[in-house]
Amino acid sequence: MLKNRVFVALALVAALLCFAAVPCFAAKAEVTIKVGYILPETQSDHIIMRDVFKKDVESKSGGRIKVELYPNAQLGGDRELIESVQLGTIQMAIPATSALAGFEKRFQVFDLPFLFKSKKAAYKALDGELGKKIDALLPPLRMVNLGYGENGYRHVTNNRGPVTKPADLKGLKLRTMENPMHIAFFKLLGANPTPMNFGELYTALQQKTVDGEENPISLVYTSKFYEVQKFYSLTGHVYSATMLLTNKAFFEKLPKDLQKVVADAARRYVTEQRKLSDKQEQKFLADLKKAGMQINDLTPEQKAAFVKVTQPVYDQFKDQLGADLVEAAKKVANEK
């Protein structure tokens, strides 16, 4: 009898502690969200995924959702990750918007060269009318976008020399994404664009399969391209965003309260990731210099020469993109 009373008392204490704790986790999660991305653990996407999104979702769902993170292209490159989200073999991915061009050509609107003159202009476009128009293209592809993160402006690295004018790119075998618009404008600049999976890039640079590549500061640093590339020219030819993609059927099958938990965590992820990305960009650029890379920024006059050469891309892709998307982008493109 005494043992039974002690057991009951302990059970009551445990229950009270559970109600007092925030949150009180279930013994086993009802739902697992696998999130894949090509970015390393030191990059802002992973840090905010781990410290904000994962924590928010797991705590605010009361342990009903478990979040598993797969950085470093463990589950494949951007294209493979997008396909996996489509198929529902993983629930979420964080690909660059440029990578979605292979699934729907209109995603290339973000890759119009020298479109966004500032990050503020890019945020306004992504979070506003243009972003909504692009989001509407995803449900037919069995996906939903929960928010736009930041990769940053893309710049050119190589081992031949500084890039300050279009002629400096002539004949340069440059790794690009599998994106027709990137390929088109680098051809106009005289380079030899070579599409390649990101996971293969470091080795390709090391073995001189390609002469150079183009990526934002954070990726150049965290991927240690400074070990195999000498010159980094801040061309800023494309502002690169990411998408927090989820499988449409998966998201819609979640109970409404869990949908809200995931959507709220995604919004906080976007806000915090952009902040950290901006901070990391400044630090990483200084670290690249310390690591021995020669960094050269372009003057407004030098950049104007690149803008002039790549302008034909706007007309070349206008029919594919649709005039409405191009105009929606141009509305905020010049905001500073």
133-160: per-residue pLDDT in tens? 999 999 999 999 999 999 999 999 999 9
Query: For residues 182 and 325, is the Cβ–Cβ distance under 8 A?
Result: no
On whether residue 82 sits in a domain, the answer given is: yes
At 336 the pLDDT is 62
Q: Domain count of the chain?
A: 1
State pLDDT tens for residues 63-105. 999 999 999 999 999 999 999 999 999 999 999 998 998 899 9
- In the predicted structure, residue 132 carries a pLDDT above the cut 90: yes
At 126 the pLDDT is 93
On whether residue 17 sits in a domain, the answer given is: no
On whether residue 196 sits in a domain, the answer given is: yes
Give CA angle at 166 (38, 239), nearest 5°.
Answer: 35
On whether residue 317 sits in a domain, the answer given is: yes
Q: Exposed, middle or buried, 200 (CB in 10 Å: 0-12/13-18/19+)?
A: middle
On whether residue 20 sits in a domain, the answer given is: no
On whether residue 16 sits in a domain, the answer given is: no
On whether residue 12 sits in a domain, the answer given is: no
At 260 the pLDDT is 98
Q: Which residue range forms the structural domain that includes residue 232?
A: 27-333
At 140 the pLDDT is 97
At 334 the pLDDT is 66
Residue 249 sits in a domain whose CATH number is: 3.40.190.170
CA dist., res. 240 & res. 78, Å (int): 14
At 29 the pLDDT is 82
On whether residue 7 sits in a domain, the answer given is: no
Structure tokens belonging to residue 83: 């396909």
Give CA angle at 298 (296, 300), nearest 5°.
Answer: 160
At 278 the pLDDT is 93
